[in-house]
Chain A
Amino acid sequence: MRKVKHLVPLLLVLLTNLIGFGVLYFTNRGIDNTILYCSVAVAAIVLISYAIILFASLGDEYLFLIVSMIFTIGIMFLLRSNTEIAMHQTMFFYVGMAGFFIVYVIYKKTNVFHTLKYSMAFIIVSVALFMFTLVFGSSIGGAKNWLSFGKIGIQPSEIIKIFFIMSLAGLLTYEADDDNSTLLKRIMNNNTKRQFFIMAVAFMFMGFLILQREWGSALLYFLIYFTMQYIFGSSKTVLFLTLLFAAGGSYLGVKTMTHIQQRITIWMDPFKNASDLGYQIVQSLYAMASGGVTGSGLGLGYPSYIPLYTNDFIFAAICEELGMIGGVGVMLLFFMLVYRGIKIALRSTNVYNKAVATGISAMFGYQTFIIIGGVTKFIPLTGITLPFVSAGGSSLAACFAALAILQAISAKTEEVSDVI
């Protein structure tokens, strides 16, 4: 058992909880006790989970604290719009943490995911999910990317992200052997063919996302793949071809797809179509501008004017009420998460785990950049979620699963170094 050495960050999370929810409770005096329930529930799960991570020695102690901070701030902003959504999100936190520990145990105790069999299984399951979504999926916000089971909606591309990273890691760090009995083995055992095969797999994933009109996810998958290929791939030709295809694909997309052209036009001058196409981004900019450097103060802004603010645009709401300082603070939290993830990757002695940790850290980094860049008009807007903040079960599930894997990798590394 270790000493509670991260008392200060833990207290910071709890203090943020106390002050944030306290302020909300008093600015909405007498309206709703949900704020109190959420506050207590979030604080409780943070304490319990942290105690488990600490006392059961589940690896890196910082990861979870960073996410708790991000999550606590996220819940506050959901409460600003709709107590029901905030309640759901708090519930998802519990479900997510349960999932976190399950994924942690599975990843920690097993040692099979790096095998070719599992990599192929992840690819096949992903393709099946993609196909299923294309046939039975429903569209929300222009993208056909939802599977509905009664009241529950699932966004498969969120879950597939993890499979994508794990299969890429498996294929990229595959160790050749002498077994050439199947076509797949023959491809995998030839280094050049393997690199091309991996590229084909990655572009297939992106192809499915483009068919579903999930431009943001397609971009995210591309960045993850390119990063992993750069680090763990062994062919500069493939790297170059990847860039060439991506450039050619984007050029074709911009030339032929009105959907993409529209987004670029909006990005160039959203105010030209302020009442229809550019409405979301214009309202987002108004919110950030009104917040200024220090913000209007929690509970004192008008986030309800921002469309989709519980999902893609939640960062604009944060900027309005907490100001540029608060927005940058949230970005730095995400950066700390990426930094801790990369550190875990650097320290890992197992090359497969190293690749997975890199992929997941890059995913958190790029995803944050794409959505925050989009809502602030730094880059064209593509709707993806802000990890651990945007409302939505699928996104949260994927984020907690990814976090659990990072946690498991850090624990595995510590175990090895303890033995040595």
Chain B
Amino acid sequence: MSFNKKIIHALIVISFLFLSLIGYLTYFQFFRADKLAYDGRNPRTVANENKVKRGDIVSSDGVKLAYSEMSADSQTRVYPYNNVYAHIIGYNSVQYGRSGLEYTYNGYIMGSSFSNELFNIKRTIDGEDKEGANLTLTIDHKLQQKAYDLLGSHRGAVIALDPSTGAVLALVSKPDFNPNSESLSANWESLNSGEESVFLPRATCGLYAPGSVFKTITAVSAAENGMDSVEIEDTGSKVVAGYEFKNYDGHEYGLLDLKKGFAKSSNVYFAELAYELGYRKMHTTAEGFMIGKDIAFDLDIKTGQTLQNRDKTNVAAVGMGQGDTLVTPMNMALVAQALANGGVMMSPYLVESADLSNGYNVYKHSRQVLSEATDADTAEKIKECMIECVKSGTGVSAQISGVEVAGKTGTAENTGEDHAWFIAYAPADDPKIALCVMVENADNTGGVVCGPIVRSLIYAWLNK
């Protein structure tokens, strides 16, 4: 019968449908499944975790910052310092998933990223709970607490780095929230709906105009290109590339060289300097300092931008800290770190190591150079400028007797009140700490608002 031939056709079509589906399932398992299986939003990871005690998170000075309390069927994550580590450790919630290091290091904290079967089999035989690895952070708890207190009720960020390694010593973003689950579920609605964007970690994901702290980069570019001896007559304002640049509060500084122009933060001087350097040189230096480039870190860092527009007016404006530049406070902290470290920018990191409770190490950070931002000679020249800035310029509020502090202030214009900035490192000749402090809508200069914070933190760190 001729029907039979066509019935076979139908069977072939159905076979093809089944085969393609099986092919797809195979593809899915081999290429897509791994990512989805360990996705933090997969509720199974939470459920599995209830069978495994999450590891502790400990500061570099041995303070427990997060730990789990086991009960019969579940575990409660406890954050004893509430808001202080909200933007570092984040939260771990059955309802809302996880954020911060609880998210990025979940595999280690839960013990699924490495093979620890033997360890856990032994624990099971001994009648103990399965355990994940404990994280040791680079954060110094005393410094973090100090930074947290000093920022007070301001919105903004404080970042302290170890200049030679890139280790994050303190990282504060405000506003913040209490990551303990009771508080989180009680306030979830208001935290999400509020205009403060509480969940935005300002230090790593807030993008701001840098203001005059960017002049360090312009100064580096000038020094690298043999233009560090340029002298400019400052009459309080100057038309550069068809646009009139004015100094903050209309100050007139007279004849300026790089050091003095830097210390006084003359807009006239730096707009003219950047104009003469031109787009290409400015762009090369900015890229060296990772402005507008992706920075890998234990937490997300938003990528900034600069000199998208090659227009000469924009180049001049960027040179004095405005224009189309947007940076994260972390990026500016890295600028301070690189200058303190002879021009070598180190990859920032928060997690020093992950270890099992029996001492077995499963993860160790290895230091990495992020960028050769500039050479040691240039860094030395800029150091002189930064010392002068704190000694006699806009940064005097950060002075400490007996310690030479290198710094640069910034006051960035934006649509609302000005943002206040300060980057610094100290001691200048043997840096132990590099800092960036940023206060949103401070309505005052970086010297006034941020300088005292910088000063107290340096003092605390050097006298610890």
Interface residues of A in 330-353 (CB under 8 A from B): 331, 334-335, 338-339, 342, 345-346, 351
A369 within 8 A of B: yes
Known contacts: A285-B36, A376-B24, A376-B28. The answer to whether A362 contacts B10 by CB under 8 A is yes
- Which A43-71 residues have a C-beta within 8 angstroms of B? none
> Chain A interface: which of B40-48, B166-174, B340-348?
B40-48
Bound state CA distance, A398 and B25, in angstroms?
A: 28
CA–CA, A342 and B6, complex, Å: 11
Determine whether A328 belongs to the interface, using a CB cutoff of 8 Å to chain B.
Answer: yes
Binds A, one of B14-22, B70-78, B212-220: B14-22
A232 to B4, CA, bound (A): 10
Identify A292's interface contact among B6, B11, B17, B29, CB under 8 A.
B29
Kindly list chain B residues whose C-beta atoms are within 8 Å of the C-beta of A230: 6, 9-10
Interface size class of A (residues with CB under 8 A): 35 or more
Is there a chain B Cβ closer than 8 Å to A293's Cβ? yes
- Cβ A286 vs Cβ B44 within 8 A: yes
User: Residues of A contacting B26 with CB < 8 Å?
Assistant: 324
* Min distance, Cβ B96 to any Cβ of chain A, angstroms: 11
Complex partner residue of B28 from A232, A288, A290, A301, CB under 8 angstroms: A288
Find chain A residues with CB under 8 A from B22 CB.
Answer: 328, 331
Chain B residues in 8 Å Cβ range of A328:
22, 25
Given that A324-B25, A331-B22, A376-B21 are contacting pairs, would A231 and B10 also be in contact in the complex, using a CB cutoff of 8 Å?
Answer: yes
The answer, yes or no, to whether B230 is at the interface (CB within 8 Å) is no
**Residue B37 lies at the interface, judged by CB distance under 8 Å to chain A:** yes
Residues in B with CB closer than 8 Å to A338 are 11, 14
The minimal Cβ–Cβ distance linking B130 to chain A, given in whole angstroms, is: 15
Contact in complex: A231, B11 (CB < 8 Å): no
The answer, yes or no, to whether B32 is at the interface (CB within 8 Å) is yes
Instruction: Check A231/B21 contact, CB under 8 A, given A286-B39, A305-B43.
Output: no
B7 CB within 8 Å of chain A? yes
Determine if B37 and A378 form an interchain contact, defined as CB atoms under 8 angstroms apart. no
Please name all residues of chain B whose beta carbon is closer than 8 Å to the beta carbon of A378 when the two chains form the complex: 20-21, 24
Query: Which residues from chain B contact A293 at a C-beta distance below 8 Å?
Result: 29
Q: Are A339 and B11 in contact (CB under 8 A)?
A: yes
Specify which chain A residues have a CB less than 8 angstroms from the CB of B24 in the assembled complex: 376, 378
Contacts of B32 in A (CB 8 A): 285, 289
State the Cβ distance, B77 to closest chain A Cβ, in Å: 20
Question: By the criterion CB–CB under 8 Å, are A289 and B36 in contact?
Answer: yes
Q: Give the chain A neighbours of B13 by CB distance below 8 A.
A: 227
Please determine whether B43 and A346 come into contact, CB atoms closer than 8 angstroms.
no
Task: Give A338 to B7 CA distance when docked, in angstroms.
Answer: 12
- A275 shortest CB reach to chain B, Å: 9
Q: Which A residue's beta carbon lies closest to that of B34? A: A289
Q: For residue B24, which residue of chain A has the nearest CB? A: A378
B33 contacts partner chain A, Cβ-Cβ < 8 Å = yes
Select B17's contact among A339, A358, A369, beta carbons within 8 Å. A369
Q: How far is the CA of A373 from the CA of B11 in the complex (A)?
A: 18
Secondary structure dominating the interface of B: helix
Q: Is the CB of A346 within 8 A of B4?
A: yes
Interface string of A28-55 (1 = CB under 8 A from B): 0000000000000000000000000000
Q: What residue of chain B has the Cβ atom nearest to residue A306's Cβ?
A: B43
What residues of chain A lie closer than 8 Å to B41, measured between beta carbons? 274, 286
| In the bound complex, CA of A290 to CA of B15 (Å) | 28
Chain A residues 348-382 with CB under 8 Å of chain B are 351, 354, 358, 362, 365-366, 368-369, 372-373, 376, 378
Tell me, in angstroms, the Cα distance from A230 to B41 when the chains sit together.
47
Please tell me if A327 contacts chain B, counting CB pairs below 8 Å: yes
| Chain A residues in 8 Å Cβ range of B21 | 331, 369, 372-373, 376, 378
Q: Given the known A-B contacts A286-B36, A290-B44, are A335 and B15 also in contact in the complex, defined by CB atoms under 8 Å?
A: yes
CB-CB nearest in chain A for B27: A378
| B8, B9, B10, B25: the one within 8 Å of A376 (CB) | B25
**Chain A residues with Cβ under 8 A from B10's Cβ?**
227, 230-231, 342, 358, 362
Write the chain A residue with the least CB distance to B11: A342
Complex formed: what's the CA distance from A345 to B14 in Å?
Answer: 15
Q: Which chain B residues lie closer than 8 Å to A231 at the CB level?
A: 3, 6-7, 9-10
CA distance in complex: A345, B9 (Å): 13
Cβ of A196 < 8 Å from any Cβ of B?
A: no
Which B residues touch A369, using CB under 8 A?
14, 17-18, 21
Shortest CB distance B456–A (Å): 43
In the complex, chain A residues whose CB is within 8 Å of the CB of B39? 286, 289
Min CB distance A417 to B, Å, is: 15
- Please indicate the chain A residues that have their CB under 8 angstroms from the CB of B34 in the complex: 289
In the bound assembly, the distance between CA atoms of A334 and B14 in angstroms comes to 11
Interface string of A224-244 (1 = CB under 8 A from B): 000100111000000000000
Is there contact, CB below 8 Å, between A289 and B37? yes
* Shortest distance from the beta carbon of A347 to any chain B beta carbon, whole Å: 9
Structural contact, B29 and A290, CB atoms closer than 8 A:
no
Provide the bound-state CA to CA distance between A368 and B22, in Å.
12
CA gap between A368 and B18 in the complex, in Å: 9
Cα-based distance from A288 to B29 in the complex (angstroms): 8
Q: Within the complex, what minimum Cβ distance (angstroms) separates B302 from chain A?
A: 21
Residues 288-344 (chain A) with a chain B CB within 8 angstroms: 288-290, 292-293, 301-302, 305, 319, 324, 327-328, 331, 334-335, 338-339, 342
A residues with a Cβ closer than 8 A to B are: 227, 230-232, 274, 283, 285-290, 292-293, 301-302, 305, 319, 324, 327-328, 331, 334-335, 338-339, 342, 345-346, 351, 354, 358, 362, 365-366, 368-369, 372-373, 376, 378
User: What are 12 A-B contacts defined by CB distance under 8 Å?
Assistant: A227-B10, A232-B3, A285-B36, A288-B33, A289-B28, A302-B47, A305-B43, A331-B21, A335-B18, A345-B7, A369-B18, A373-B17
17 A-B pairs besides A302-B43, A328-B25 with CB distance below 8 A are A230-B9, A231-B9, A288-B29, A302-B47, A305-B43, A324-B25, A331-B18, A331-B22, A338-B11, A338-B14, A342-B8, A346-B8, A365-B14, A365-B17, A369-B14, A369-B17, A378-B24
